[in-house]
């Protein structure tokens, strides 16, 4: 490609950033990454040109201004990849201003908001005739107590918007293990536990939903990632099964295997068509052990943490998105290989230790599971620095946890769940 348009990714603190940068950087496309921390894994990749936010200021106002300033400096319009929910919403709200400098494809703002909030996703799912977990939306504690006796326990409390539970007070309250990631949900086994947990969290974030727990092991979590053009036509579909997650039971993937599942593709396309979706994304379902039906769990309106597995298996989703944003012909990449693994070793080690504590996984089983063709989340021979940063973080984690307990100090969680 002669004089390819540049790419801008925001933020650069996650494996999704690495997946995009490595895919496009290897093609000679200039890739820029924006982040408040110059030492994040994406910022040290050989395929990314780091753009630290001034003064480490990660506020929405500063991110928007930096995007505008960078767009002006680049000259040609760049293809923009927001890979965090906060930045998806920012780019959606500010599309009139950012479209002067960037190319990106996404649905209208109302659709983005609905898909990224738990109550909105439930509404969209039902409108598209997609099965969802039974969901309840108390307005306040009195509303919760009024419905508490009718709920199908166990249930989970979820934030209406996932990143609102990243504040340290909530993370410390809900984290079940120092090895785990920030929690996405709070499991409540009875009425008393539900009301008490709601009351404690509502001090910091009163907007929550209550949802039934879909029964079944973690391997019943399936995910379909995709790219749809401006006419909501799918140009890429790729599926995987989440076999280990962190936090265990209700977390993000640490170990995934590529699969084909016609039922998963059909229900995903029904949702996407009904929502008139455009652009990058991924949708997660859990196959209910009671009836084997797919129940809608989560939606990502962006490139996700392990979507780079699609590239290893034969479908280069970032490049498809890059080409389509410019109106260029999209390469024909419809076939992909099953049985290829994606492993985030830094997090999978921690997940293994928790599964082992719960007697769900032995050391030999875990080691054998790592055999076969793999797409490592951070580890690459030709791009080793992100892996070094990830390994340092793994060994720093126990010491940081001990230090906070001894000194009583708290450190805010820097990375939103992917």
Give the residue with greater pLDDT, 349 vs 394: 349
What is the per-residue burial (b if ≥16 Cβ within 10 Å, else e) of 70-94?
Answer: bbeebeebbbbbbbbbbbbbbbbee
Out of 67-81, 177-191, 336-350, 355-369, least confident range? 177-191
Average pLDDT over residues 151-168: 91
pLDDT of residue 410: 41
Domains in the chain, CATH or no CATH each: 7-104 (3.40.50.720), 134-212 (3.30.1490.20), 217-376 (3.30.470.20)
pLDDT of residue 302: 98
Q: What is the pLDDT of residues 306-322, one digit of tens each?
A: 999 999 999 999 999 99
pLDDT of residue 180: 81
Residue 409 has pLDDT above 50, yes or no: no
pLDDT of residue 407: 45
pLDDT of residue 398: 58
Average pLDDT over residues 71-91: 96
Average pLDDT over residues 127-136: 96
Residue 86 has pLDDT above 50, yes or no: yes
Average pLDDT over residues 270-291: 98
Reduced to 3 states, what is the DSSP secondary structure of residue 199?
helix
Average pLDDT over residues 324-328: 97
What H or E segment, with its residue span, contains residue 272?
helix 262-275
Average pLDDT over residues 98-104: 98
pLDDT of residue 177: 79
pLDDT of residue 399: 57
Report yes or no: 221 and 250 within 8 Å, Cβ to Cβ.
no
pLDDT of residue 397: 60
pLDDT of residue 404: 47
Residue 367 preceded by cis peptide, ω within 30: no
Helices 262-275 and 118-127: crossing angle in degrees, nearest 10, is 100
Out of 9-23, 162-176, 265-279, least confident range? 162-176
Reduced to 3 states, what is the DSSP secondary structure of residue 223?
strand
Q: Give me the chain's average pLDDT, please.
A: 92
* Pairwise CA distance, residues 40 & 38, whole Å: 6
Distances (CA, A) of 301 to 104, 138, 283: 12, 26, 9
pLDDT of residue 125: 97
Rounded percentage of the chain residues whose pLDDT exceeds 90: 84
Residue 353 preceded by cis peptide, ω within 30: no
Average pLDDT over residues 86-94: 98
């Amino acid at each position: 490609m002669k004089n390819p348009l540049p790419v801008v990714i925001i933020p650069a603190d996650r494996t999704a950033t690495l997946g995009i940068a490595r895919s496009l950087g290897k093609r000679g496309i200039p890739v820029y990454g924006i982040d408040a921390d110059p030492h994040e894994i994406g910022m040290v990749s050989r395929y990314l040109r780091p753009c630290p936010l001034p003064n480490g200021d990660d506020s929405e106002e500063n991110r928007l201004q930096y995007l505008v300033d960078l767009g002006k400096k680049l000259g040609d319009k760049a293809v923009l990849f927001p890979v965090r929910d906060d930045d998806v919403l920012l780019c959606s709200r500010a599309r009139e201003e950012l479209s002067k400098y960037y190319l990106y494809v996404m649905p209208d703002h109302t659709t983005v908001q609905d898909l990224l909030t738990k109550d909105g996703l439930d509404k969209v799912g039902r409108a598209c005739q997609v099965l969802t977990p039974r969901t309840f939306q108390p307005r306040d504690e009195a509303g919760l107590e009024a419905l508490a006796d009718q709920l199908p326990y166990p249930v989970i409390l979820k934030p209406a918007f996932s990143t609102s539970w990243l504040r340290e007070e909530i993370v410390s309250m809900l984290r079940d293990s120092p090895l785990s990631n920030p929690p996405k949900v709070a499991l409540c086994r009875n009425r008393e536990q539900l009301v008490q947990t709601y009351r404690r969290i509502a001090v910091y974030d009163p907007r929550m939903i209550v949802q039934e727990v879909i029964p079944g092991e973690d391997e019943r979590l399936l995910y379909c990632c995709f790219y749809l053009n401006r006419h909501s036509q799918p140009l890429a579909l790729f599926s995987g099964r989440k076999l280990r997650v962190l936090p265990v039971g209700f977390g993000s993937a640490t170990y995934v295997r590529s699969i084909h599942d016609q039922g998963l593709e059909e229900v995903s396309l029904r949702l996407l068509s009904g929502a008139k979706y455009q652009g990058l994304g991924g949708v997660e379902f859990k196959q209910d052990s009671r009836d084997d039906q797919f129940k809608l769990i989560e939606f990502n309106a962006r490139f996700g943490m392990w979507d780079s597995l699609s590239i290893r298996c034969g479908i280069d989703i970032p490049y498809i998105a890059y080409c389509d944003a410019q109106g260029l012909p999209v390469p024909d990449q419809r076939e992909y290989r099953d049985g290829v693994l994606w492993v985030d070793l830094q997090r999978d080690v921690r997940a293994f230790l928790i599964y082992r504590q719960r007697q769900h996984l032995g050391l030999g089983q875990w080691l054998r599971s790592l055999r076969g063709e793999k797409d490592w989340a951070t580890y690459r021979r030709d791009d080793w620095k992100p892996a070094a940063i990830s390994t340092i973080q793994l060994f720093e984690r126990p010491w940081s946890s001990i230090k906070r307990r001894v000194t009583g100090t708290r450190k805010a969680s820097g990375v939103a769940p992917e």
